[in-house]
Amino acid sequence: MSSFIIRGDICTSTDKNTILTRENSYVVCKNGVCQGVFTEIPEPYRDLPLQDDTGKLVMPGMVDLHIHAPQYAYRGLGMDMELLSWLDHYAFPEEAKYRDLDYAEKAYDIFTNAVKHSATTRMAVFGTLHREATELLMDKMEQTGIVSCVGKLNMDRNSPDTLREGSARESIAETERFLRETLTRYHNTYPIVTPRFVPSCTDECMEGIGKLSEQYGVCVQSHLSENPGEIAWVRELCPDTAFYAEAYNRFGLFGKPQKAIMAHCVYSSDEEIALMKENGVFIAHCPASNMNVASGIAPIRKYLDLGLRVGLGSDVAGGQTESLFTAMTEALQVSKLYWRIVDNSCQPLSVDEAFYMATKGGGEFFGKVGAFEEGFEFDAIVIDDSRLPHPQELSVRERLERAIYLSGDIKALTAKYCRGKQIL
Amino acid sequence: MSSFIIRGDICTSTDKNTILTRENSYVVCKNGVCQGVFTEIPEPYRDLPLQDDTGKLVMPGMVDLHIHAPQYAYRGLGMDMELLSWLDHYAFPEEAKYRDLDYAEKAYDIFTNAVKHSATTRMAVFGTLHREATELLMDKMEQTGIVSCVGKLNMDRNSPDTLREGSARESIAETERFLRETLTRYHNTYPIVTPRFVPSCTDECMEGIGKLSEQYGVCVQSHLSENPGEIAWVRELCPDTAFYAEAYNRFGLFGKPQKAIMAHCVYSSDEEIALMKENGVFIAHCPASNMNVASGIAPIRKYLDLGLRVGLGSDVAGGQTESLFTAMTEALQVSKLYWRIVDNSCQPLSVDEAFYMATKGGGEFFGKVGAFEEGFEFDAIVIDDSRLPHPQELSVRERLERAIYLSGDIKALTAKYCRGKQIL
């Protein structure tokens, strides 16, 4: 069934500054495509089946623009170091285990089961450098019904022996095989070109995968300007680039010719920001991770005001949880600290902006996704917030705001739809 | 039953830098008092009933040093302003409703039901200025089995007409009546003298309640140096004090003669810090609130290193949740931002320190509380973390760390004990 109507208390972003809320209203899905939000069911849709979620919050599914599947196993662990040491001590040894497909099977079952039951309907996922384990992950992602891009990582330098590809050629060849094998294998799961970050990829590797991205028409995801130590290292490694993003851009890995997601952008220079804007790069803002591994606070107010494309990322396991509700709360919280401590000309984010980033802002990476607008792919979640009792009257808008801040206390996802199909 | 043994995976702070963990071990409670942690049950206790929580985490109950009961109804709402505007627009109008005992009944039922089911076993609670509603709150707190101090607020200036006492005399008289009526009424619930904060209390009022605190031997709680606007205002209001804390100290409301909790201390000067140390004042660190109402980050590393007494506060509704697990995570997170952004000579907090503050650090306010040590009052919680599956082996220490960071995903409190009595 991909044509139906949901009745409930509807919430959707119209633009980044506006959440539209409609109590006791209807959102219509026809052949997997949203027809809009209505206070009465319009004549042409009168015969569609009605899902009655009266009194519940109905909103677009959440979009997670940055998550590491193999790090899920140790989320909430070992966050006593900053980025580069954390990678060496925790992330790399854990990821090295995914050479073993039995371990990958067990770990990716846990991961995909968790995200299936989360509020997320779209994801951009990092795997490991292991092609086979990453294809296994894609098989399992496909089972969840979530739409995702999943990347086999490229790592051919500055990585431990247990987690490094033998050469640029090997890295490129494995990537090409990965793309060929997965490009049309699934309905909802797509490969994505994924240089881990500049320090772990040689120029030769970058050049090769940049060509593959263009040749196969496949998007790109990576990390950018996350941490001062990392940025200084990139400067050493790439003396002929003026700033970090150039190290991707010169190889066609920065939003042109294919769309690209760059996670973090905590310390992007003005030139880098200008290039992100010019190339339409998607920024994955990951506030939990930026706190947990002591990176800092990204100036998201500035990016939004400049019209850059910004979504949210859980960045598990730099972030401790896959919950995008938590990510929204944390985005709001760190924006207030940024205003207070770093730059009081940068106003804190609003709830509208946080919700926009988690839905329509990130959704744009996947096309017409993340809002209940005519012509948008129909992704939705239903939240029963009645287990959060309150003595006073609350508007739908207030209930949504509370659900965002109290995600951890609510745990009341009662239905989830992706591309018009109910998957939970 | 107040004599028994719990078997499980035991976690307890020994000092602020050390969490002791013991797998498959025993913690013994005799007549409500902890006898210690043992790997085998010692001979004298062999006949005590055994509660088998094998495979679960058993730890001291959490201590919340700062929470506003009447603000619980609008937690997660209206956090788009900083402190003083937030008080005027949200907190004060909500609190004014507690003049109506029907509203108080409904709202305090929700509050006490929530904290009963939380991991918290000790609380320092702000009520409103209304004596009757606050006594109603105490009746309900007593029912939870949690040990708490509950304060009727003093507010006789700079507050709206709907939430201000008629005069200092009235405020003092109502406080005295409150103390007399509640001092010995309950087993687990105690009154506490609670000037809201300096801007809302005249000198005459402060002087009067300072005397009451001494006369009745009752502790004190208030707010201190939370926000730059508030601090500037206190400076105007109290031109004859050198720093904020003096406005409490000169009236005997700052740790001498009675113990005192001061919430926030984000911007305490060196003189203020020295006075806190001298008087043994308890600092309630409330990281969520300090983010949500854009106050800043308190320099907790400095306070701990100086040997000050520090516990955690949820500060609902400046904070969005009553979960002390969330407060621990946020304390860790903001300490990393403090190191990165404000002062890189202040090392981030460790998990050990966060756990210490949430248990033994805050517990000290209540006496020998917050650790599984011989002679300590027996407060405990049991957490079933088995619903967080993992592909790798994890030590008890790692499971505790994960439970702290993933509080929102876990929701697996299976038992709670307070003063040796099982209350959940």
Query: The CATH number of the domain where B113 resides is what?
Result: 3.20.20.140
Predicted confidence at residue A144, as pLDDT, reads: 98
Among B366, B382, B406, the domain boundary falls at B366
Mean pLDDT for the stretch of residues A240-252: 97
Mean pLDDT of A131-146: 98
Q: What average pLDDT does this structure show over A166-180? A: 98
DSSP A20-44: EEEEEEEEEEETTEEEEEESS--GG
B333 interfacial to chain A (CB closer than 8 Å):
yes
CA A93 and chain centroid, separation: 24
Phi, psi of B266, rounded to the nearest 5 degrees: -75, -35
Decide if B406 and A350 are in contact by the 8 Å CB cutoff.
no
Please report which confidence band the pLDDT of residue B214 belongs to, taking 50, 70 and 90 as the band edges: very high
Are B331 and B349 within 8 A, CB to CB? Answer: yes
Cα–Cα distances (Å) from B207 to A64, A118, A413, B122, B261, in that order, read: 55, 54, 52, 29, 18
The predicted pLDDT at position B101 comes to 98
- B216 in contact with A at a CB cutoff of 8 Å? no
Check if the beta carbon of residue A120 is closer than 8 Å to that of residue A108. no
Residue A408: pLDDT over 80: no
Predicted local distance difference test score (pLDDT) of residue A418: 98
C-alpha–C-alpha distance, residues B404 and A74, integer Å: 13
In Å, how far is B122's CA from the nearest CA of chain A?
Answer: 20
- State the average pLDDT over residues A208-216: 98
Q: Rounded to whole angstroms, how far apart are CA atoms A101 and A133? A: 6
What's the CA gap between B80 and B76, in Å, rounded? 11
Q: Which residues of A75-93 are buried (b: 16+ CB within 10 A; e: fewer)?
A: bbbbbbbbbbebbeebbbe
- Contacts of residue B392 in chain A, CB cutoff 8 Å? 73-74, 94, 97
| Domain identity same for B75 and B153 | yes
Q: Cis peptide before B242, with omega less than 30 degrees from 0? A: no
Q: Kindly determine whether residue A294 and residue B407, on different chains, have CB atoms separated by under 8 Å.
A: no
List the single best residue of B95, B336, B398, B401 to mutate versus A (max A Cβ within 10 A): B336
ipTM higher than the 0.90 cut: yes
Q: Give contacts of B 336-395 with A, CB under 8 A.
A: 336-337, 339-342, 348, 350-351, 389-392, 394
Handedness of CA B358, B364, B370, B372 (dihedral sign): positive
Q: DSSP class of residue B316? A: B
Query: Would you place residue B410 in the very low, low, confident or very high pLDDT band (cuts 50, 70, 90)?
Result: low
The reply to whether A102 and A55 lie within a common domain is no
**Optimal mutation site among A101, A323, A328, A329, interface B, most CBs of chain B within 10 A:** A329
Q: Is B292 on the interface with A (CB under 8 A)?
A: yes
Task: Evaluate whether A383 touches A357 at the Cβ level (below 8 Å).
Answer: no
Query: How many Cβ pairs closer than 8 A exist between chain A and B?
Result: 140
Of B337, B351, B409, which has the smallest distance from its Cβ to A291's Cβ?
Answer: B337
Q: What is the rounded average pLDDT of the residues A293-304?
A: 98
Give contacts of A 81-140 with B, CB under 8 A: 94, 97, 103, 106-107, 110
Mutate which: B17, B79, B385, B396, vs A, most A CBs within 10 A = B79
Mean pLDDT score across all residues of chain A: 97
**In a shared domain, residues A85 and A146:** yes
Six-digit token string for B88 = 């005027």
- Residue B67's identity, in one-letter code, is I
Residue range B219-237, pLDDT digits in tens: 999 999 999 999 999 999 9
Residues A112 and A29 in one domain: no
In 10 A of CB B79, how many CB atoms? 28
Same domain, yes or no: B116 and B127:
yes
Compute chain A's Rg from CA coordinates.
Answer: 21
- CA distance linking residue A424 with residue B183, whole number of Å: 53
Q: Give yes or no: residues A252 and A220 share one domain.
A: yes
Q: What total number of domains does chain B contain?
A: 2
* Residue A393 burial (10 A CB sphere; 0-12, 13-18, 19+): exposed
Residues B330 and B255 reside in one and the same domain = yes
User: In whole angstroms, how far apart are CA A414 and each of A58, A146, A147, A422, B270?
Assistant: 10, 16, 19, 11, 52
Check whether residue A173 and residue A296 sit in a common domain.
yes
Partners of residue A266 in chain B, C-beta under 8 Å: none
Residue A177: alpha-carbon gap to chain centroid: 25
Q: For residue A102, how many other CB atoms are within 10 A of its CB? A: 9
B288 close to A (CB below 8 A): yes
Of A368-372, B78-82, B178-182, which gets the smallest average pLDDT?
B78-82
Residues of B in contact with A320 (CB under 8 A): 329, 405-406
User: pLDDT over 70 for what percent of chain A?
Assistant: 99
- Contact list, B320 vs chain A (CB under 8 Å): 329, 405-406
Residue B256 neighbours by CB distance under 10 Å: 16
Same domain, B204 and B232: yes
Q: Which of A80, A44, A59 minimizes the C-alpha distance to A8?
A: A59
Which of B344, B366, B388 is the C-terminal boundary of a domain?
A: B366
- Determine the structural domain holding residue A401 and report its residue range: 4-60+371-422
Please count the other Cβ atoms lying within 10 Å of the Cβ belonging to residue A337: 24
- Confidence (pTM): 0.98
Nearest chain B residue to A388 by CA distance is B110
> A330 with A274, same domain?
yes
CA A406 to CA A390: how far, in whole Å?
Answer: 13
Query: Domain containing A413 — which CATH number?
Result: 2.30.40.10
Q: Which of B334, B350, B366 corresponds to the end of one domain?
A: B366
CA distance B284 to chain A (A): 19
DSSP readout, A185-218? T-SSEEE-BEE--GGGS-HHHHHHHHHHHHHHT-
Q: Which of A78, A152, A73, A77 is nearest to A105 (CA)?
A: A73
> What distance in Å separates residue A32's CA from the closest CA in chain B?
31
Same-domain status, B35 and B72: no
Residue A20: the pLDDT is 98
Q: Do A337 and B340 touch (CB under 8 A)?
A: no
The tens digit of pLDDT for each residue in B335-348 reads 999 999 999 999 99
The confidence score (pLDDT) of residue B1 equals 72
Judgement on whether residues A376 and A360 belong to the same structural domain of the protein: no
The average pLDDT across A211-224 equals: 98
Number of helices followed by number of strands (H, E) in chain A: 16, 17
Residue range B384-405: mean pLDDT, rounded = 94
pLDDT tens string B243-298: 999 999 999 999 999 999 999 999 999 999 999 999 999 999 999 999 999 999 99
Q: Answer yes or no: are the C-beta atoms of A33 and A378 closer than 8 Å.
A: yes
CB atoms within 10 A of CB A31: 9
